[in-house]
Structure 1
Amino acid sequence: MRNRELSPFLLYVFGFFLIWEWIRPIEQLTDTSYIWVFILFLLLSILMSFFRVKWIFSILIKVFYILFFINRLYYQEGFFYNGWLTAFLADLKHNTVLLFSRNWNDLSNDFCSFLFFILLWLMVYLLHYWLLKRQRIFIFFFLTLIYITVLDTFTHYSAKAAIVRTVVTGFAVMGMLSFYRMVVKEKVPIQYAASRKWMVLLSGMITLSVLIGIAAPKAAPIWPDPVPYLKGDKKYHADDNSMSLQTIGYGTNDEHLGGPFMGDNKTVFQIEAKGKHYWKVETKDMYTGKGWVLSPESEKIQFKIGDIVPVFPFSKNVQTDKETARVFPVEGYRFPHIIYPAGIRKIMSVHSNLGGGDTFSLDNKMERILVLGSNKQPIVPNLYTIEFDIPKYQAKDLRQTKKFDAKVMEPAMYKKYTQLPEELPQRVTDLAKKITSKEKNWFDKAKAVEKYFSRMEYTYEQKDVPMPGMNDDYVDQFLFETKRGYCNNFSSSMAVMLRTVGIPTRWVKGYNGGEFLQYSKTDPSKQIYELTNNNAHSWVEVYFPNQGWVPFEPTKGFSNDVAINYLDGTTTSSGPAAAVPVMKPVKKPDMETKNAKGSGKSADQKSMLKKIKVIFKNHWKLVGLVLFVALGVAGILYRFRGKWYPYLLLIRFRFRKKDENIGSAYLILLKQLNRYGVTRKEDQTLRNYARYVDAFFSTEEMTHFTSRYEQYLYHNQLPEGSWKETRKLWENLIKRTIA
């Protein structure tokens, strides 16, 4: 029996790594943060299952863990403040209704985290059932391989290392289970030497197979990749009728939108700022039915470093906060433009290897800013610092505009930004009118259209996106036929739909906020964000005469950083659910909002969690190694506990003097003897078992000790000093169990 004690531990370790492979891609493919919280919950659940913690205590510990971290991540109030739990339960009830009504896009983040915790809980239970009850793992192993290979094929997640890890782990688990199934079937007594030989051979086979697979030459594919063909990953070019696959990233030509693209995680910028922002490059105003172009007669405006940038996205009566940021284009970046937040005011400094950089050119139509060299030709900057304003809109001000008024907006400007092609299908206009029919002002109509794209029939997709045919309208095809696409599809559709109901819009290109990299070493109040080609993005700006250009984010799975005050003193994000008054206690704002506000204790707690996340992100190999070593040490200690645990028991009872200690000491001795391998049968009396133990160890100590224990058990009294007399017997028996 003792020879098999290491087996469950190793099975649980390998099972943990298999489930971990399901969690690894989540942080890359979704907006989920603090993955380490879920990994720690998974590890805690597996450890409690391994040590067979009583079910009631296991449930209590897991529930406490879930509630504690939901409070820590989503609520400002402390864990022991009763109000937050009431708010969470109410939120739980509301989201459950949304869940069963299949309105999944409106589920709150804390409810999604709660569901993820429950899913991990169930996976640990199933893991225990498959490994120890059924002793089968092939189905779970096979599903894991399918899961990571599908993600590798259809997303930007790279699963090369994951496949190797999964194969090694899966083969190890199946090899161990096969060995013990054969032992049980043949009723062969397990010997440590035999199991060790089996494990050595199994490890050698797996290691050799992996090394051969890595080192062996790989033949080039005979046929082209069938996935792009099967998914329709082709792009139509009107000039040569050819079909090709495009790559994500910023481009200058938007005349023919559509078609699939391949992801590209090549870094293009690093940003030092106090939070995430959307970074503009240019805007376009004329929709052709196939894409976007610029209206004619644009004007080039030149200005100097430190001058007010002649871009005015919002009016002066909008409240703003002033901030600065530094932008570092990476080596090899080839575009000479400046990326900037919507509220840019000044370009404070520019560094370039080509000289110059103190003069800029602005196209007043597309609002693209180019850096000019000493010869007045565009150059690529290496570093620049910008000053910008962050607007804080008031919903009551945004709702003031209900229709076009020539007194507050120039008719020529209104005509330009409500332009539509004559061939636009009528059903696009009909759909826009249907969506906005209940709203009375431009802002609520824009929010209604923005929210419309969160419906479940619209999906964010990068590869299975067709090009519109010669007779197809780009927006019409997306809205009524394919209903799948990426940012260009969503943003173009929102801009066009709002124009059909008389609301001026423009199409904006640039980059979303990117990924947090680390804290700034020169300014601890700022963070470094990394922007890759995958962060290239497009969105919509709507013009309100009394407010200026206000950004909206219709793309499914994305949210911008615009703050809108819906109620006095309550500032929330501009997401679809922002119009609903926030319950008290309020949930925590995003990390970026909190940094901008400079909040106190809550920001410090969030900062601590973010630092932990950075450690996991930047040193995950070291953390994994430490975890692996810790698990290995724990496994070794567990495997050889027979050599050190008896000494721990001896120390525990060394200084106890009360005679009542005989009862607990005897029960501990029974467990230790059973652990050693001298097992008591179910129908065996204590006296018979004591004689069996004495015969096994060639002694009479167990019989004498059992006699004293029965006296204590049945008469509930002992002569004074009984424990002192019998402790030596107990210690001798404990020492005999030292393996």
Structure 2
Amino acid sequence: MISRKVQKDLMTFIMYIFGFLLLWEWLRPLEQLTDTSNIGVFLLFIFTSLLLSFTGTPVLIGGCIKWVFIVVALHILYIDEAFFQFKWVFVFITDFIESFQLVFASDWVNLSNLFRSFLFFVLLWLMTYLIQYWLINRMQILIFFFMTLVYITVLDTFTPYEAGLAIVRTVISGFAVLGMLTFFRLLDKEGIKKETTLSRKWMVPLVTMIVVSVGFGLAAPKAEPIWPDPVPYLTSYGKGSGEGTGVQKIGYGLDDSSLGGPFMGDNQVIFTVEAESRHYWKVETKDVYTGKGWITSGSREVRSPFGSADQVPITSFFNSPGIEMVKESSTVYSLTNNSHIVYPLGIQKIDAASFYSYELEVDTEKIHSLEGDSPASIKQYTLDYAVPRYSVTALNEASSEENIAVNNELINRYTQLPEDLPLRIQDLAKEITDGKDSWFEKARELERYFSRSGYTYDQKDVAIPADGEDYVDQFLFDTKQGYCDNFSTSMVVMARSIGIPARWVKGYTEGEYKGISESGSRMFEITNNNAHSWVEVYFPGIGWVPFEPTQGFSNSVQFNFDTASQSHDLPPEMNPEELEKDKPELKEINEKQPVANEGSFKKFFIPIENFFEAYWKMIALSILVLAVCAFVIYRIRGRWLPYYLTWRFKWTRKDENFQKAYLLLLRELDRYGLHRKDGQTLRDYADYIDRFFSSREMGRLTARYEQLIYRGSLQKGSWMETKELWENLIKKTIA
């Protein structure tokens, strides 16, 4: 049996402890920047592995102990069955086979959490072996120490992770290990026997040096940075190249069990679409709120297969007199290897190549795409769906006692809440909906509550609930700032607390409008930044109706307000006359140029060729001079470009020019140095500009621009009313 000859004195043990601390610094950021949880289990595995190495445990016995640890840990984390019944063995085998198939298909996104955790354990096993090898065999750990410093400083620079104390801890641990390894190397080189008195004589100066150095570094005054911050440059460079930047990125993910915390934007394009109207793109729903996030009550393995010729087995709403439906279709062009379908509300049919098939997760309504029996990414598919227009009268009548009794089982499922949910959440929901009778009126009040009660949209300064703290309670009463997950989860929980069935929906917003395609459809581009969550409320006899509580986002669902009283009760942005304007009038001009025949083209080209042969030197010099002039003009564009733009739009009176002028203003403000942050809403950016220039001009312009974006039209004369505001802001960018 192979065993290790390891020094088991106090200094070697201390050296192992510092090696453990260095490895710990690699794991600390994971809880904040990724979906990884239960870090304590992985730390215990590292400690156990290093302890086995220190005690000189034979390799075979140590390996068996580590394998048992991994199996038990995975069972505790992911399996509900009793350990000694061994039913989990089949679950492990099945999960690993499916995961290896996904690995060979390069579908890394859909790997199970169990398999990911297993791979992470293997990685930690390898890292602990390397630590032992560097410490005991090579007695050199400088490279690992340097890599640890680079790792935490990069995270500190480019992510929300604050690594100030981490750098101090790493320096202390690294210098201590380096000092002890140097001592051991000197003893080996000189053939000196290790003695306690000799070790003390070396360790006391080492500890003193580390304490003095660290103390002086912390206490000394800090000079201002000599070099400018590279992050804005790198970020802008990434944008210019069309690639997303950032370490932790927003986007669609599988694990929503622990919500909260900041994220960084990601401009990677996920898919593009040609659609007749704009709407959200759904991926899946979840029904169980845990107090920290969302999970699914049923199994993801319960699936309903169907083919391209079949009707999609999803019933979003019923064929009811209370719903008017308009048939539409969209074509999706996927740019990733995701093996799932994104689809709008009212999906009916998926049209793709005949060799593709599909499976619907019954409990989440997620649609998987398959080629044979393997997950497959479909690069292009067309969706047929019905766009609903809900009757408000029917929605108000849907929550009658008779309808509720018929749908009792479904209502119980979608009104689930944790037993320890703070009571003040329900009290707040009752206060918001006081005086409203129907579910629809109450849902509308909950949806509006966030826009008039001091809640703000924020992607960076977002809290993570502590142990024993409820995610929704923290957002509603303490922080009052967050992103879509905070708003949508809070509305679902408040609706459920007063008996209204609601569920949490994940997917993407409509994305960025890119113009008109050759087929006449509207083109949209959807990136990871468009990942979003919203709310669906169930109305008996009607079906699921989307609601949008998140600040800065608007609900594209259409309502038919049957009576005048309902219409007057609406806020201005939901006036039925405006809701009819779903699509702006868009025109495309095709100009056909005459094509010359081949003979006339040759006759025209010959004198040009002779001219270039005779004067190519002069032409090259002229091009060089023009290039230099163009470069100089470009470098001083801050002095003349605002005047040009002002002159360009001075005499125009068409309201259609407002959008182009506003986008040019954003570009000039960015050039001036007033950069818009990733994920920052236009309204927040306008507040920042107005504070910088001590004015209110940008806010007024942005309000008009939002009216154009969300309603699809402007009031007549809007450009003439706002042109002076625009000119004032443009002139302020003169540099």
What's the TM-score once normalised by structure 2's chain length? 0.46
Does 1 or 2 have the higher relative contact order (CA < 8 Å, sep 6+)?
1
Larger-Rg structure: 1
What's the TM-score once normalised by structure 1's chain length? 0.46
